[in-house]
Amino acid sequence: MTGIIGLHHVTAICGSPQENVDFYVRTLGQRLVKKTVNFDDPGTYHLYYGDEAGSPGTILTFFPFVDAGPGRAGPGMAETVAYAVAPGAFDRAMEQLALSAVDFEGPAERFGARVVALQDPDGMPVEIVETDGAPDVAHTFHSVTLRLADPEPTARLLTDIFGYREVGEETVGGVSRLRLQAADGGPGGIVDLRRDPGRSIGRQGAGTIHHVAFRAHDNADQLAWQERLRTAGFDVTPVIDRQYFNAIYFREPGGVLFEIATDPPGFAVDEAPETLGEALKLPPQYEGYRRRIEEILPPIKVPA
């Protein structure tokens, strides 16, 4: 059994769906690859952004709750998603942010690479990292940062079970990070563990990350991970059909909700690749309620 490949997707909570779409499509240049509903709450959108194909390792998803109060990341929560951008495009990315009147900090240097930090409309931290071999636009994940009171148990899960390796530790501006990388070093293969001594208390809400999903090659690979995690003592859910992937969930030792999601079938399973994200797609159990659901959901206009 090989190690985890890297990130599959990251799911967060936001407020206004239109502000969310405007920022991720117009400002960051991502594609809305799926417009569906929260399968556990069909009166709420579930929006998926990614590269043109909606490839695993590029997918950032949101549950928009219009009346959601502001959240705040704290120990036991994922805090930041970072996108990788090629060295030749990094300065252009900063220029584009400035032209779009987006405030950002940096560039700063972290583990030898330039990083700029910004916030989405709900205050969720988003970073862009200059990375050799990355695309010219911010489509592919570079990393996710977890905020942990004690990073060591989470690090052991990532190294001893997921197959990650520690690649560095540094403290800048009072922020201490332990960096781990997936064995194959592919896209979205980095997890940063930020040590938080616990003086702050997190609160789930708009602008916070709900869970972090890692990739499984297929259903058989996912079942093997499920068995391996249960053997290691983790309380893992049964396989749940999420239409575009199958999912299993468990709480990692530091408190962050982890998911392992299959690469197939992908986002073209219910609409053509060239029209991804244009129509509201519902899972079969909710098709009979489509008219009512469409009346509840606020309209969204995707920027051209």
The model's pTM: 0.96
Q: What is the pLDDT of residue 232?
A: 97
Q: What is the pLDDT of residue 173?
A: 85
**Where does 23-139 show beta strands of DSSP type E?**
31-38, 41-50, 59-64, 77-85, 104-110, 113-119, 125-130
How many helices and strands, by DSSP H and E, does the chain display? 5, 16
Tokens matching residue 243 = 């239409």
pLDDT above 80 for 260: yes
Mean pLDDT of 164-176: 93
Mean pLDDT of 184-213: 89
Q: What is the pLDDT of residue 66?
A: 86
Q: 286: burial class by Cβ within 10 Å (0-12, 13-18, 19+)?
A: middle
Report how far Cα 135 is from the mean position of its chain's Cα atoms: 18
Domain 6-296, second-level architecture: Roll (3.10)
Contact (Cβ atoms closer than 8 angstroms) between residue 86 and residue 136: yes
Mean pLDDT of 175-192: 90
Q: What is the pLDDT of residues 153-167, one digit of tens each?
A: 999 999 999 999 999
Q: What mean pLDDT, rounded, does the chain reach?
A: 95
pLDDT above 80 for 1: no
Mean pLDDT of 196-211: 89
Mean pLDDT of 199-207: 88
Contact (Cβ atoms closer than 8 angstroms) between residue 142 and residue 186: no
185 band by pLDDT with thresholds 50, 70 and 90: low
Q: What is the pLDDT of residues 6-29, one digit of tens each?
A: 999 999 999 999 999 999 999 999
